[in-house]
C-alpha cells in the first residue's frame, strides 16, 4: 500500500492540538490553510469554528471540500495573513491562531510555481497576491540588491559570487530556472551532497518575492490584536530567519525589560504574553521517520494574558534592515 503522507502531512499536528485545546470549543484561525490539515482536525471537535486564510488561490478547492461538510463552522478567505486585521473579527471568541510557515508537498511539486530546482521555464515563485515574480528579481535588480537578498534572506556565503555571475550571464539572455540552477552550481566550489547547491539562493528569492518577512511581522501583530485573553498564538517555522523573528516577538512581549540593550524599552502595563515553553518544540522521532520534511520545523507558542488590543512592539525597528531589503521590490 502506498502512503499518502508525502503529499500532505500537517507538521507537529498533535503538539498544536494539545496546545490550542479545541476539545473545549471556540473559534480558531488557520492563517496558512494549505490543504487544511490543521483545520480538519480542529473541526473534528464539536463546538469549534475555523476561519482559514491562504494567499494561494489553488487552495480554494481544498476549502470548498471542507465547506461542503462544515458550512456553519468554516470560513475561507483568499488573503495574506498580514490582511488578518481586515477581517473585522474582534467579536469572535478567538481562542487560537496558527501559522505554519512551510510549503506543502503539492506546492513544491507544482512546477508552475517554480519552487523546485526541477522546475523548467521562466522563474516564478509567486504564492498568490504578488506584484512581481522571481523572473523580475533575477533579471532586473542590480548586483548590490541581489547580493543582499542572497546574504540576508538565504544566509548564502557565496552571495557576492552568485550575484556577480547572474549579472554577467543575463547580459546575453534572460535567466530562467534551470539557467539559474546551473549558475549557482558552477559558482559554489564546495559540494554538499546532502543539500542542493541552490537551496539557500532559492529560499532567499522565494522570501523576497512573497514579502515573507513583512508578511510574518504584520501577521503576528495582527494576530495578537484579534486574539482573546487566554488565547494561544502558535507558529511553526522552518528556517532560522523566521524563527529569529518569532522568538523575538514572543520574548519582547512576555518580558518587562527590553530584549535588547540597543533598543528602547517598551512600556507596557505588564507583559502581554506568557511563554509556557522557552525552547521550541520539535518533531518527535516518530514524526521524523514518517515525514522527513518536518526535520527543520520548530514550534513556538505563547498565551495572551490581557484582553487589550493596542500594544507597542519594537519588532519593526528590530528587523528594519530586512524590511529595507524587501523594499527593493517596489522598483519592480
Q: What is the pLDDT of residue 4?
A: 41
- What confidence score (pLDDT) does residue 130 get? 94
Q: Which helix (H) or strand (E) holds 233?
A: strand 232-237
Q: Which domains does the chain have, with CATH numbers?
A: 13-106+212-306 (3.40.50.150), 131-209 (1.10.150.170)
DSSP codes of every residue in 258-276? -S-TTSPPP--SS-SEE-S
Predicted confidence at residue 189, as pLDDT, reads 76
Query: Three-state DSSP class for 130?
Result: coil
Residue/partner pairs of 220-223 with CB below 8 Å, 24 or more apart: 220/99, 220/245, 220/246, 220/249, 220/315, 221/313, 221/315, 222/81, 222/82, 222/83, 222/84, 222/85, 223/29, 223/31, 223/81, 223/84, 223/97, 223/99
> Cell numbers of 288, please?
521524523
N- to C-terminal Cα separation, the chain: 48
> Which pLDDT does position 3 carry in this prediction?
37
Give the H or E element holding residue 97. Answer: strand 94-100
In the predicted model, residues of the chain with pLDDT beneath 70 are: 1-8, 90, 104-109, 111, 191-193, 257-269
Region for 318 from its dihedrals, namely left if φ exceeds 0, alpha if ψ lies in -120 to 50, beta otherwise: alpha
C-alpha cell at 258: 527590553
- How many CA atoms, within 13 angstroms, populate the side-chain half-sphere of residue 87? 27
pLDDT at 252: 93
What's residue 223's pLDDT? Answer: 94
Secondary structure of residue 311 in the 3-state scheme: coil
pLDDT at position 118: 78
Specify the pLDDT at position 267. 53
How many C-beta atoms surround the C-beta of residue 86 within 10 A? 11
Q: In this structure, are strands 94-100 and 232-237 parallel, antiparallel, or unpaired?
A: parallel
Cα separation of 316 and 214, whole Å? 9
- How confident is the model over 181-217, as pLDDT tens digits? 999 999 997 766 678 899 999 999 999 999 999 999 9
Amino acid at each position: 500500500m502506498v502512503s499518502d503522507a508525502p503529499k500532505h502531512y500537517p507538521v507537529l499536528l498533535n503538539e498544536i492540538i494539545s496546545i490550542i485545546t479545541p476539545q473545549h470549543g471556540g473559534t480558531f484561525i488557520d492563517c496558512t490553510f494549505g490543504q487544511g490539515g490543521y483545520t480538519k482536525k480542529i473541526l473534528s471537535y464539536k463546538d469549534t469554528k475555523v476561519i482559514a486564510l491562504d494567499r494561494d488561490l489553488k487552495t480554494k478547492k481544498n476549502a470548498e471540500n471542507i465547506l461542503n461538510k462544515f458550512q456553519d463552522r468554516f470560513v475561507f478567505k483568499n488573503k495574506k495573513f498580514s490582511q488578518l486585521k481586515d477581517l473585522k473579527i474582534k467579536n469572535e471568541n478567538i481562542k487560537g491562531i496558527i501559522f505554519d510557515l512551510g510549503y506543502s508537498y503539492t506546492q513544491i511539486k507544482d512546477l508552475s510555481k517554480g519552487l523546485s530546482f526541477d522546475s523548467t521555464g521562466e522563474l516564478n515563485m509567486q504564492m498568490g497576491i504578488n506584484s512581481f515574480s522571481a523572473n523580475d528579481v533575477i533579471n532586473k535588480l542590480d548586483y548590490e540588491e541581489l547580493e543582499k537578498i542572497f546574504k540576508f534572506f538565504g544566509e548564502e556565503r557565496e552571495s557576492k559570487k552568485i550575484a556577480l555571475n547572474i549579472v554577467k550571464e543575463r547580459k546575453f539572455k534572460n535567466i530562467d530556472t534551470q539557467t539559474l540552477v546551473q549558475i549557482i552550481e558552477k559558482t559554489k566550489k564546495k559540494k554538499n551532497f546532502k543539500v542542493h547547491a541552490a537551496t539557500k539562493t532559492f529560499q532567499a528569492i522565494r522570501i523576497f518575492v512573497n514579502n515573507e518577512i513583512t508578511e510574518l511581522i504584520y501577521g503576528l501583530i495582527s494576530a495578537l490584536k484579534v486574539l482573546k485573553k487566554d488565547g494561544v498564538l502558535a507558529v511553526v517555522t522552518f528556517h532560522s530567519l523566521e524563527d529569529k523573528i518569532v522568538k523575538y516577538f514572543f520574548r519582547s512581549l512576555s518580558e518587562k525589560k527590553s530584549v535588547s540593550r540597543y533598543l528602547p524599552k517598551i512600556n507596557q502595563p505588564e507583559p502581554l504574553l506568557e511563554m509556557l515553553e522557552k525552547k521550541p518544540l520539535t518533531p518527535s522521532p516518530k514524526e521524523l521517520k514518517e515525514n522527513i520534511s518536518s526535520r527543520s520545523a520548530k514550534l513556538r507558542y505563547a498565551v495572551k494574558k490581557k484582553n487589550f488590543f493596542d500594544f507597542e512592539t519594537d519588532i519593526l525597528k528590530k528587523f528594519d534592515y530586512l524590511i529595507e531589503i524587501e523594499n527593493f521590490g517596489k522598483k519592480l
